[in-house]
Amino acid sequence: MEVILQNLTKKFPSRDRKNREDVVAVSDFSFKIPDGELIGLLGPSGCGKSTTLNLISGLQKPTSGKIFFGEDDVTDLPPENRGIGLVFQNYALYPHLTVKQNILFPLQNLKGKDKISKTEMLEKAYKAAKLVQIDELMERKPDQLSGGQQQRVAIARALVKMPRVLLLDEPLSNLDARLRLQTREEIRRIQRETKITTIFVTHDQEEAMSISDRIVVMKDGVVHQIGKPQDVYDDPTNLFVAKFLGTPPINVFNGKIKDNRLYIGEDAVLEVKGVPEQEVYVGIRPEGFLLQEEGSLCCKLSGVEVMGRDVSVVSTNAASLNPTIRAIIGTENNVNTREGIVSFNLIPHKVFLFSKESEERIYF
Ligand code: ADP
Ligand code: MG
């Protein structure tokens, strides 16, 4: 099911006595979500992710804008008529019901022509349970399950009616690190198998990057960039997006453009033809540094961390905005730790320039 968001906006009245301006939780969000894709809605806490999801589910009404599921304008439909499955961070299972009864619940509430027989209901419940691999646990109560199992029950319950759209709001946040990894792969597998258009909300960039067909990066209610995870990482549109994606994070420096050259401090580090002279922010991905004896960017070495597959060179530089600079290099490189100074050359496509005023990208 294609989902179309058209100039979607949601404002809340201010709760701040000093500032009476409305809170714009979602601002003019337009996006055509292709049928069958998994979209990662990503951004820091308070950026409007849950509100966006609530508008799509119908739990909240937009201040303006429209929502279509395929040809259907669902903007004014109540949630129960939209054909959606919802999963939240706190599994929200009925504690007094068994797993089976929890999964059956949405089917028992079907009315009129949608009503189905008991046998059909059980068939569907077992099918959904199998999909999330909890069909062995059907007679248990939620408190007899681990967090990961409870979240699977919640996903099965959301899937049992085969929704047109599946909406997940930080579904992995209550799980420990290992289960989080495992469950996110499960969600990806289930989504691939069912081909249900899915919107997955998270503040965790790695989580969003790893399972999404496309990510939407939001801040303060505004969508900053939409694209395939790798494309957004490789080609961020502004400083915020560049900083939000990637572990270790991007290294940011104060720099300046002079005579078609990029300077960090006194070091001329790159040729940048055609960029007007100005002060800039320079973002360098950790994998954008080449450790070379005569490298153009000199930094003070703080330490070397061996991480198995590669090595992390930690250093400082007066122009760096991060307390330390992290460069990831291959283990085949020998870091000369005696001198206390490391020098790097830069890989141009791993270096991004941003305007000091607007923080928008400057292309070179
Ligand atoms: P996220 O899910 O990304 O953490 P939310 O969508 O929950 O963010 O919130 C976005 C903004 O809208 C926040 O500033 C939040 O305080 C505000 N907000 C959310 N719900 C309400 C509400 N019911 N009333 C007033 N303000 C709200
Ligand atoms: Mg939220």
- Residue 215's pLDDT band (cuts 50, 70, 90): very high
Please indicate whether residue 308 or residue 71 has the higher confidence score (pLDDT): 71
- Residue 307's pLDDT band (cuts 50, 70, 90): confident
DSSP state letters, 261-299: EEEETTEEEEE-TTPPSEEEEEEE-GGGEEE-TT-SEEE
Under a CB-based contact definition with an 8 Å cutoff, are residues 145 and 153 in contact? yes
Q: Token pair of 72, please?
A: 């259907």
Q: Which of 178-182, 202-206, 236-240, 336-340 has the lowest mean pLDDT?
A: 336-340
Q: Say what the pLDDT of residue 90 is.
A: 85
Q: Say what the pLDDT of residue 72 is.
A: 95
Number of alpha carbons in the 13 Å side-chain half-sphere of residue 238: 14
273 residue type, one letter: K
Cα–Cα distance measured from residue 236 to residue 354, given in angstroms and rounded to the nearest whole number: 10
317 residue type, one letter: N
Mean per-residue pLDDT for 335-343? 80
Phi, psi of 166 (to 5 degrees): -110, 125
Per-residue pLDDT for 327 more than 70?
yes
Residue 51 in contact with ligand 1 by CB distance below 6 A? yes
Q: For 101-130, what is each residue's pLDDT tens digit?
A: 999 999 998 888 888 999 999 999 999 999
Under a CB-based contact definition with an 8 Å cutoff, are residues 153 and 138 in contact? no
Q: What is the 3-state secondary structure (H, E, C) of 201-266?
A: EECCHHHHHHHCCEEEEEECCEEEEEECHHHHHHCCCEHHHHHHCCCCCCEEEEEEEECCEEEECC
Q: How far is the CA of 175 from the centre of ligand 2 (A)?
A: 16
Q: Which residues surround ligand 2, an ion (CB under 5 A)?
A: 50
Query: pTM of the full predicted structure?
Result: 0.93
Q: Say what the pLDDT of residue 46 is.
A: 95
Residue 26 in contact with ligand 1 by CB distance below 6 A? no
Residue 205 in contact with ligand 1 by CB distance below 6 A? no
Q: How far is the CA of 124 from the centre of ligand 1 (A)?
A: 35
Q: How far is the CA of 200 from the centre of ligand 2 (A)?
A: 11
Share of the chain above pLDDT 70, in %: 99
Q: For 15-38, what is each residue's pLDDT tens digit?
A: 888 888 899 999 999 999 999 999
Residue 251 in contact with ligand 1 by CB distance below 6 A? no
Considering every ligand atom shown, identify the ligand nearest to the alpha carbon of residue 14 and give its number: 1
Q: Say what the pLDDT of residue 337 is.
A: 65
Distance in Å from the first CA to the final CA of the chain: 40
Q: Which numbered atom of ligand 1 lies nearest the CA of 51?
A: 6
Q: Which of 95-109, 213-227, 313-327, 328-342 has the lowest mean pLDDT?
A: 328-342
Q: For 32-89, what is each residue's pLDDT tens digit?
A: 999 999 999 999 999 999 999 999 999 999 999 999 999 999 999 999 999 999 999 8
Going by alpha carbons, the residue nearest to atom 1 of ligand 1 is 46
Q: For 184-199, what is each residue's pLDDT tens digit?
A: 998 999 999 999 999 9
The DSSP element (H or E) to which 122 belongs, if any, is helix 118-131
Phi, psi of 186 (to 5 degrees): -60, -45
Tell me how long the chain is. 364
Per-residue pLDDT for 335 more than 80?
no
DSSP bridge partners of 66: 6
Q: How far is the CA of 51 from the centre of ligand 1 (A)?
A: 6
Per-residue pLDDT for 336 more than 80?
no
Per-residue pLDDT for 177 more than 90?
no
Going by alpha carbons, the residue nearest to atom 6 of ligand 1 is 48
Per-residue pLDDT for 224 more than 70?
yes
Name the DSSP letter for residue 303.
E
Q: How far is the CA of 285 from the centre of ligand 2 (A)?
A: 29
Q: How far is the CA of 40 from the centre of ligand 1 (A)?
A: 18
Under a CB-based contact definition with an 8 Å cutoff, are residues 25 and 12 in contact? yes
- Residue 338's pLDDT band (cuts 50, 70, 90): low
Residue 65 in contact with ligand 1 by CB distance below 6 A? no
For all residues of the chain together, what is the average pLDDT?
94
Q: Which numbered atom of ligand 1 lies nearest the CA of 201?
A: 2
Residue whose C-alpha is closest to residue 202's, from 185, 215, 221: 215
Q: How far is the CA of 45 from the centre of ligand 1 (A)?
A: 9
Q: Which numbered atom of ligand 1 lies nearest the CA of 48?
A: 6
